[in-house]
Amino acid sequence: MAHVTIIGTGNMGQAIAGLVAKGGHSVQALAHADADQAVTGDVVVLAVPYGALADVVAQRAEQLAGRIVVDITNPVDFATFDSLVVPADGSATAELAAALPQSRVLKAFNTNFAATLASGAVGDLPTTVLVAGDDAQAKELLIDVVASGGVRAVDAGSLKRARELEAVGFLQLTLAAGEKIAWTAGFAVVS
């Protein structure tokens, strides 16, 4: 069993906490107001918007050292909804990994709408969580945690692939905002 900290109590934080708990793992849920509570999880999911990552790093970088840190963000420019705000050849995850050199940073959950994590389904298909990162052991642990909660998880490659995962997440958001897909649906991964 893993012990997982979820920082952020929005839709995504709640859905991920539910998934983790369903798998029989223990959850520490931390809200914004819980800045004085220390992180205790072996895995720490930063279920916050991209713009809040810098604050989390500023507050908790030392606590995150030695832990697996999961970035779920889609760094969309919400003013234009026409581009990302991270460098075109980089990713939010690459920035986070640079800011947390003592953590093992993964990308995951950013291609999943909260509803599909809660239901375990994208339409009639099982939800798949795509996980990217450079630490094979960390990826395996997160994949096991997700799978134990009844949701498929797939190793999507190295940390560099966070760039493509953020493109998928962004495209999916534009399709939903444009009413081409429902917020309960989106991209399904058929194996």
Least distance in angstroms from the C-beta of 88 to a copy of itself: 4
Least distance in angstroms from the C-beta of 117 to a copy of itself: 15
Nearer to a copy of itself, 102 or 158 (CB): 158
**Residue of 18, 49, 120, 157 that binds a copy of itself (CB under 8 A):** 157
Q: Could you tell me how many residues of this chain bind a copy of itself (CB under 8 A)?
A: 36
Residue pair 68/44 in contact (Cβ under 8 Å)? The answer is: yes
- Rounded distance between C-alpha atoms, residue 88 and residue 12, angstroms: 25
Part in contact with a copy of itself (CB under 8 A); list of ranges 11-19, 23-31, 44-52, 155-163: 155-163
- Rounded distance between C-alpha atoms, residue 50 and residue 69, angstroms: 14
**Residue of 33, 58, 79, 190 that binds a copy of itself (CB under 8 A):** 190
- Taking residue 81's Cβ as centre, other Cβ atoms within 10 Å add up to 12
Residue pair 28/4 in contact (Cβ under 8 Å)? The answer is: yes
Part in contact with a copy of itself (CB under 8 A); list of ranges 12-20, 42-50, 63-71, 163-171: 163-171
Residue 188 sits in the site that holds a copy of itself (CB under 8 A):
yes
- In angstroms, what CA-CA distances link 32 with 7, 39, 80, 82, 120? 8, 13, 27, 29, 27
Residue 186 sits in the site that holds a copy of itself (CB under 8 A):
yes
**Residue of 51, 87, 102, 137 that binds a copy of itself (CB under 8 A):** 87
Q: For residues 91-120, which are near a copy of itself according to CB under 8 A?
A: none
Residue pair 109/12 in contact (Cβ under 8 Å)? The answer is: yes
Residue 25 sits in the site that holds a copy of itself (CB under 8 A):
no
- Rounded distance between C-alpha atoms, residue 94 and residue 80, angstroms: 23
Residue 36 sits in the site that holds a copy of itself (CB under 8 A):
no
For residue 88, count CB atoms less than 10 angstroms from its CB and return exposed for 0-12, middle for 13-18, buried for 19 or more: exposed
Q: Which residues bind a copy of itself (CB under 8 A)?
A: 82-83, 87-89, 122-125, 154-158, 160-161, 163-165, 167-168, 170-171, 174-175, 178, 180-182, 185-191
